[in-house]
Structure 1
Amino acid sequence: MTASAAPVEARSSLDHLDLKQPSPESASTESNRSIEVIRKRADFLAANRGKRFVTPNFVLLAHRRRSDHPVSAATIRRGITVTKKIGNAVARNRMKRRFRALLAETLPGDGMSGVDHVMIGRKANKEADFAAMKAELEKGLKYLAKKLA
């Protein structure tokens, strides 16, 4: 009972999107300030010397970059750290995805230019509600803005 496969036209699920044109909401935020990802260990270590805001679900670090830093002073940078203490790879990756989504929603409005923002995951008994984590992040960004001013 072997059935031969019928030829199927290959198509992408993203054909209906025009990926070359930025969306209107992202164009307005990126024209003012760009958001980059921290990739170097030295930058994470420098952020660890900055101010911190601790919640049950994460620690938020903020560190103002030196004036001679190669990254522009108008740029906001973000980093995410989740250690193996959190759990297996599935749990760590889920936490990182949630952190990326949180930062993408809040940094354009509440982030500080010339500052590195780092979120460090903390092990909690149960996973927090996304809206509650967003409220904590906004509160933390406002708190750190006062501390770095």
Structure 2
Amino acid sequence: MTIPTIRKRADFLAANRGIRVARAGFVLLAQPNGGRGKRFGVTVTKKIGNAVVRNRMKRRFRELLRAALPEAGLPDHDHVLIGRDRGVERDFATMRGELAEALARAAAGKGDPPRRRRPEGRKG
């Protein structure tokens, strides 16, 4: 069974209002999607590296999600993985375990607290 992907920016922005579970290599967002089934999306910013690095990371994330979501994914939710800096060099098996743990926390409704906003004008 193939799991549909999220393609519209509005769906990614809506997922940001859901449960957030942060891990060393990624942040998982899970948001109810109104009965559209299990869907997933992947995003990696340019801060992570060049196009080769970002695409490699996205391929790894897609493979992790395709393996984990049929059993561990939340029903009728959008799942978004946001790549983090340390996600490129992490061991695949370690990331698989972290994703399973993050999905379990999201299913239990135990998200991390909302992140702090940086003051305007500050970089880094």
Shift of 1:75: 1.4
- RMSD between superposed Cα atoms in Å: 1.6
| Distance in 2 between residues matched to 1:99 and 1:65, nearest whole Å | 21
- Structure 1: which 5+ residue stretches go unaligned? 1-29, 67-72
User: What SS does the corresponding residue of 1:124 show, helix, strand or coil?
Assistant: helix
Shift of 1:35: 1.7
Shift of 1:47: 0.1
- Residue of structure 2 in register with 1:12 after alignment: none
| Distance in 2 between residues matched to 1:125 and 1:64, nearest whole Å | 26
Q: How high is the TM-score relative to the length of structure 2?
A: 0.84
- Cα distance change, pair 113–90 in 1 and its aligned pair in 2 (3 A): same
| Distance in 1 between residues matched to 2:57 and 2:46, nearest whole Å | 12
Shift of 1:113: 1.4
User: What SS does the corresponding residue of 1:135 show, helix, strand or coil?
Assistant: helix
1:74 and 1:113 in contact (8 A); partners too? no
2:82 pairs with 1:120 = yes
Shift of 1:126: 6.2
2:76 pairs with 1:142 = no
1:80 and 1:118 in contact (8 A); partners too? yes
2:31 pairs with 1:59 = no
Of all paired residues, the percent bearing the same amino acid is 55
- Cα distance change, pair 125–147 in 1 and its aligned pair in 2 (3 A): closer
User: What SS does the corresponding residue of 1:147 show, helix, strand or coil?
Assistant: coil
Q: Bigger relative contact order, structure 1 or 2, given CA contacts below 8 A and separation 6+?
A: 2
Summarize the alignment of residues 22-37 of structure 1 with structure 2, pairs less than 5 Å apart.
Answer: 30=1, 35-37=3-5
Larger radius of gyration: 1
Shift of 1:134: 0.3
Aligned positions, number: 110
- Residue of structure 1 in register with 2:15 after alignment: 47
| Distance in 2 between residues matched to 1:132 and 1:52, nearest whole Å | 19
Shift of 1:43: 0.4
Shift of 1:119: 0.1
- Supply the AA of the counterpart residue of 2:81: M
Shift of 1:56: 1.0
- Residue of structure 2 in register with 1:107 after alignment: 69
2:25 and 2:88 in contact (8 A); partners too? no
2:57 and 2:87 in contact (8 A); partners too? no
